[in-house]
Amino acid sequence: MASSQSSGFPVFARRNALSTLDGFPVPDEGIVIYPVPPTTVSIVLATDGYPVLKRTLEDSESALRDVLAQDPLMCRLYKSTKGILQGNVSFDDRAYVKFSIHTSSATDSEM
């Protein structure tokens, strides 16, 4: 295995990996911060098990079904390491989280 530097992460892992929220530490260079426009009302985060991400879980699941119907081996529309295995309903596990953003109004702060 490649040597570690002061971060404690192997050099190879930092150079050839994508960071993820999985309970393990994430090196600083794997963290990307995106500005959120003040007019944003919701943020959707999802795993790569959703090749098409929509505003709702229902719509994202519907888009996934459409992709799988057209390309069950996941080798043409959205290239993946695997297609649908026998007994599975999709090519990968998946998670979908939607955060609603509520801004405080003057009346909220007075409460």
In this predicted model, what pLDDT tens digit does every residue of 5-17 receive, in sequence order? 445 544 445 556 6
In this predicted model, what pLDDT tens digit does every residue of 46-72 receive, in sequence order? 988 999 999 999 999 999 999 999 999
Q: Which residue has the higher pLDDT, 104 or 26?
A: 26
Return the structure tokens found at 52.
């098409």
Query: Which segment, 9-13, 100-104, 105-109, is predicted with the most confidence on average?
Result: 100-104
Among the listed residues 71, 95, 96, the one whose alpha carbon sits nearest the alpha carbon of residue 84: 71
What CA–CA distance (Å, rounded) separates 61 from 64? 5
* pTM of the predicted model as reported, rounded to 2 decimal places: 0.66
